[in-house]
Amino acid sequence: MAGLKDRLGYGPAFAALAGMLPQVVLGPFAGALVDRWNRRLIMIFADTAIAMATLGLIALFATGLIQAWHVYVAMAIRSLGGAFHFPAMAASTRLMVPDKHLTRISGLNQTLQGIMNMIAPPIGALLIEVLPTQNVLLIDVGTAILAILPLFFINIPQPLRVETSQEEKPSLLGDVHEGLAYVRGWTGLMVILSMAVLLNFLLTPTESLMPLLITKYFEKGALEFGLINSVSGFGIIVGGILLSVWGGFKKKVVTSMVGIIGIGIGIAGIALVPANMFTLALVSAGVSTAMMPIANGPLGAIMQAKVRPDMQGRVMSLVNSEATAMSPLGLLIAGPVSDLIGIRSWYLIAGLVTIFMGFFGFGMPAVMNIENNQNDGEIESQTPSTATS
């Protein structure tokens, strides 16, 4: 393992790039294919491809032939698999869950993700210490198999495709263009997507800047950094449980805007906390992460409920691609800017802009009325197929 680390060099950066680029560049095309193909089979093949890439790494580690580029290729395959799996799963949820429960399901998903984010790093670190790398990767293959097997027995309905022309089936590029036109023609969705892109650009770097904020401003160390990460993870779990039990306000978009304002208050609070009151920073971090499921869950439920069923793969992929693209850009700009104006200033600006975005959403009729959009009639006219293959 040490030899691999020596060969990696700038490995983490390249690995992160390999893990993001396929979703950013190929995501819209994957979404178009999700709307064309059988979604259950897409999830099976996507998870199988991810498992096969991991098996390849296992063989390379076991034979001692592992090279840095092998890891990057595996990361890219996993990212591509995710580019297919996420929109297929999100689009299928709409056809399997009643609209009134979509927000609660989103909250449950956020809770599970928060739990995994909390327990996976320490368990992974422990396993790497006591087991060979290839054995640790075998666990990943085992979990992939557990995810694939139920798909063979679950009935996942397929939506009826609305063709724009009865004479000729649109090309793949035509499908992508149709998805872009669908999003551009829906003002409320365009505004929310623009808000999400801006907020992702501002908020993603706050996680990377946190170690510097703790050491340089609060003058704390690794223990406090681990503590704030634990509180942040716990916040996501609490917010997810709250959303799954409560279900949010009657208008889902109101719940999301409240969540966005709450995230901004938490992030700005971290910037405003005095250096000798680190406990308040923990509280602010917990508030910001607890509000994330409150903000994200209802928005996902809105798209699942209101986007035309045969268009959901494309829309979900576009949203995911845009958000993912902002992560490296935000990190690239946040470093030099925070050196210039200070790390706390980045947190304060990010928090205040986030708060403003929440109130801006409340003041935008197109956003507040997104659940009564012009596509409702199209949605109701879709009768999903119950075919399983």
Residue type, position 30, single letter: A
| In the block, residue with structure tokens 């992460």 | 289
Residue, of 239 and 376, whose pLDDT is higher? 239
Calculate helix-pair angle for 343-362, 252-272, nearest 10 degrees: 160
Torsion angles phi and psi, residue 385, rounded to 5: -75, 150
pLDDT band at 173 (very low <50, low <70, confident <90, very high): confident
Kindly tell me the burial class for residue 37, based on how many C-beta atoms sit within 10 Å of its own C-beta (0-12, 13-18, 19 or more).
middle
Helix, strand or coil, per DSSP, at residue 221: coil
pLDDT at residue 318, rounded to an integer? 86
**Banded pLDDT at 133 (limits 50, 70, 90):** confident
Q: How confident is the model at residue 276 (pLDDT cuts 50, 70, 90)?
A: very high
Find out whether 38 and 389 touch, Cβ atoms under 8 Å.
Answer: yes
Does residue 292 carry a pLDDT above 80? yes
pLDDT for 46-63, tens place per residue?
A: 999 999 999 999 999 988
> pTM for the full model?
0.81
pLDDT tens string 317-348: 888 888 778 777 887 888 888 889 999 999 99
How is residue 157 written in tokens?
Answer: 């309905």
Q: How far apart are CA 316 and CA 64, in angstroms?
A: 40
The H-assigned helical ranges of the chain are 2-8, 11-36, 39-63, 68-96, 102-130, 133-148, 172-184, 187-212, 222-246, 252-272, 278-306, 312-341, 343-362, 365-368, 376-380
Residue with tokens 């406090």: 224
Domains of the chain: 175-376 (1.20.1250.20)
